[in-house]
Each structure stands twice: as structure tokens, then as C-alpha cells.
Amino acid sequence: MEPVGRVGVTLIFGTNGDPATAGERAKPLAADVVARLQKSKELNFKNYRSLGRDVQPALRAHDNWALPMRPSEEVRVRFDVQGRLAGGGLRLDLELWLQQKKVLKTSPTLEAGRPLYIRGPAWRGGQMILIIELIK
Amino acid sequence: MKPGDEILALWLEGELDGPQQAEVDAWAAAHPELLAEREAISLWKVDLRGVIAADQQPPFPDFFNSRIEQALRQPAQTQPRQNPASQIRSWWRNLAVPALAAGMALCFWLGTEFRPAPAAVTVVALKEPPAVYTPLSGVTVEVVSTAGNDGTVIVLEGLAAMPDSLEVPETSGIPGESSFKLVTNPDTVTF
């Protein structure tokens, strides 16, 4: 089946404390990404770390799952395509699942360069943030 | 004097004429609700004629033709012969029920012709914030735009914290494709 696009899901950790609490496997973000995040008060932290990412093809009439902490299923994003925008974006039906529980259902419109951020649960003194974007 | 029910019914359908018509008209002048009802029936007949053209077969014509034939046969078997004007009125009354049924069937048929759009269609760009819902009680959801209006932020408040025992897996985040590109520092990611 031909995908209508690709959706990237990145899980990051934002904290005003010591970012090392995220562990050695968590990587820092580039300075321009940090600057972009810090512009919004809802996403503004002193330090960030990347906890994982996943990119999945967006297939029509399919339940698509992205697991940014693969193989862990503690954080999962389910999405299915509702329609394509004239400019190449996608209208999605999207759910966030944490620890086998659905915690959010939404219907975002994803366009290239306009990600959807979900400020999620606290973890190790900071905050988990999901960045969901349309990949060209 | 109030006319009988049968005469009144014929008057409502506009099927009286002559002195009978004038007599009921005079009585009905003091009953605006009946005048309104008569007007509504008259409009309904006009609408019905507009929906079903004279030269157009109704849906399932065999069924309805048989119903019309049956309706036309029954009075001939059970009632004495009527004068021509009365036969025309009776014909209209007999036709009204099947015609109404034909109208309903036409609406049903039009309903069956409606098809949902394909699963993924091209739609116009939608700029309104996404609809959000959480099934968890005690959790609130807020949708805001980023400061540079280059994205949308959904803020979930009240979620239970993820356990500190959750570790970043060794294989975490190693997809084949990603918009994240390594920059000067290979341990740093950007998008």
C-alpha cells in the first residue's frame, strides 16, 4: 500500500534541573532547536534531551503506530489519515498512549515545518514532550 | 351551519364546486385555521406535482402500478356507479396515498444513492486548532499556538508522572528515516 506521507514522533525531556537525570543514552538537542522550543512558554526549559524518535509511513485506512522509545511501549502514538491537504499536509486522527492507557485523542493538521507539540507527563523532575511532524 | 365531515374533507382538498363550495366557503370564513389548512394542502399538492413529473415513472413502477390498479378496482367492486365528476375526485383520493408513498420511496432511493467520500480526500487547509479529548478524569487539555506560530502545542495537565524506573532503551530512536539531522556534534540532534 502506498503511504501518503511519513510522520515523525520525537520524545524529548525538558528540565530546569540537571539534564543528566535523563540518563546517558539521552542526547542533547541542537542549539537552534533549543531556541525554537524556548520561545514558547509551555515548552520553555533550561535543558533538553532527546529520549527517542520514530518515523512511520502514514498509510490510509490503517492504524499506524509510532514508538519513540522502541522497543518499549510505554509511550505510543497511534494515528490514521483522515485526509490530505491541498498543500501536501495531512489531517490525522491521533492518539497518545502512556503505559497502555489512552490519555489523549486529537485531530491535528500536520504541515511540513509546523509540528505538533504535546507537553505530556512529568518524568525524573522534568517534563516529557512529544514532537510530531510531517516528514517531507 | 357546519358542513358534514365528508363535505368538509372534500372542501379541504378543493374538490367542491358550485353552491356547495359557496356554502362551505361562507361557513369557513369564520374559521381561519381551516383556511390555513386548506392552503397548506393545496401547496402540498403543487409540491408533489413538482417532485413527480407526469411523464416520470416512480421508483419500483410495477409495485406502485399494481397498487394504483388495486385502488381503482376496489371502488368499482364495492360502491355503486358514480357520476364522472365524483369519479375524478375519487380517482384523485385513491392516487393520493400511492403518490405519497411514491414520494417517500423517492426520498429513500435518493438516500441510497448517497455515498461517503473516499477514505483520504483532498481537503482545504484547516487552520483552526485541533479538537482534543482526554478520557482521563482530572486531566485538562489546552491547545495553544507556538510563539512563532510555527506549530501547535497541546498541554496536558494532571497526568500521572511516568515512573523514574523508565529507562531510555539502548535501541531507542534509531529509525531508518528521520527529519532529525545530526549537526556538527554527532551526538546532537536537530529538526
- pLDDT of B50-74, one tens digit each? 766 555 555 566 667 777 777 777 7
Residue type (1 letter), A23: G
Tell me the pLDDT tens digit for each residue of A20-61: 999 999 989 988 889 999 999 999 999 999 999 999 999 888
Q: Which of residues 145-184 of B touch A (CB under 8 A)?
A: 146-148, 150-156, 159-162, 164, 166-173, 175-180, 183
Nearest CB to A108; choose among B139, B152, B172: B152
Specify the residue for cell string 484547516. B126
Q: pLDDT at position B99, please?
A: 82
Q: Which residues of A touch B121 (CB under 8 A)?
A: 83-84
B147 to chain A, closest Cα gap in Å: 5
pLDDT of residue B88: 63
**Residue B139 pLDDT grade (very low, low, confident, very high; cuts 50, 70, 90):** very high
**Three-state SS sequence of chain A:** CCCCEEEEEEEEEEECCCHHHHCCCCECECHHHHHHHHCCHHHCCCEEEEEEEEEEEECCCCCEEECCCCCCCCEEEEEEEEEEECCCCEEEEEEEEECCEEEEEECCEEECCECEEEEEEEECCEEEEEEEEEEC
Of B178, B80, B119, the residue nearest A63 (C-alpha) = B119
From B115's Cα to the closest Cα of chain A, the distance in A is: 17
In this structure, which amino acid lies at residue B155? V
Q: Which of A54, A62, A119 to mutate to test the interface with B (most CBs of B within 10 A)?
A: A119
Check pLDDT > 70 for residue A131. yes
Give the pLDDT confidence score for residue B36 in this predicted structure: 87
Crossing angle of the two packed helices B18-28 and B5-12, in degrees rounded to 10? 90
pTM: 0.59
pLDDT given for residue A125 in this prediction: 94
What pLDDT, on the 0 to 100 scale, is given for residue B56?
57
Confidence of residue B165 (pLDDT cuts 50, 70, 90): very high
pLDDT band of B147, cuts 50, 70, 90: confident
Distances (CA, A) of B24 to A48, A136, B10, B33, B89: 89, 78, 10, 14, 17
| pLDDT confidence band for B176 (50 / 70 / 90) | very low
The rounded distance, in Å, linking the Cα atoms of A90 and A83 is 6
Minimum mean pLDDT range among A56-60, A91-95, B45-49, B140-144? B45-49
- A45 to chain B: which residues are within 8 Å by CB? none
Among B152, B170, B171, B177, the strongest candidate for a mutation testing the A interface, having the largest count of A CBs within 10 A, is B152
As a whole number, mean pLDDT of residues B83-95 equals 67
Spatial separation of the C-alpha atoms in residues A120 and A102, rounded to whole Å? 12
* CB pairs A-B closer than 8 Å: 202
pLDDT at B177 over 50: no
Mean pLDDT of chain B: 74
- Give the Cβ contact number of residue B119 at 10 Å: 13
| pLDDT score recorded for residue B112 | 73
Average pLDDT, integer, range B7-32 = 86
Give the burial class of B53: count Cβ atoms within 10 A of its Cβ; 0-12 exposed, 13-18 middle, 19 or more buried: exposed
Is omega for the bond preceding A71 within 30 degrees of 0, making it cis? yes
Choose the most confident range, by mean pLDDT, from A82-96, B10-24, B58-72, B105-119: A82-96
Helix (H, G, I), strand (E, B) or coil at B68: helix
User: Using one digit for the tens of pLDDT, what is the confidence trace for A53-110?
Assistant: 999 999 888 889 999 998 899 999 999 999 988 888 999 999 999 999 999 999 999 9
Give the Cα separation of A43 and B53 in Å (integer): 65
What gap in Å lies between CA B188 and CA B191, rounded to an integer?
11
Best mutation target, B140, B180, B182, B190, to test chain A (most A CBs within 10 A):
B180
Determine the Cα–Cα distance for residues A81 and A84; give it in Å rounded to an integer: 8
The predicted complex's ipTM stands at 0.95
Bridge-based pairing of strands A116-123 and B152-157 is: parallel
A contacts of B124 (beta carbons < 8 Å) = 85-86
pLDDT, tens digit, 9 for 90 and up, residues B178-187? 444 433 344 4
- Run of H or E residues at B151: none
AA letter at A30: A
Distance CA A117, CA B148 (A): 13
* Residue whose C-alpha cell reads 477514505 in the numeric block: B119
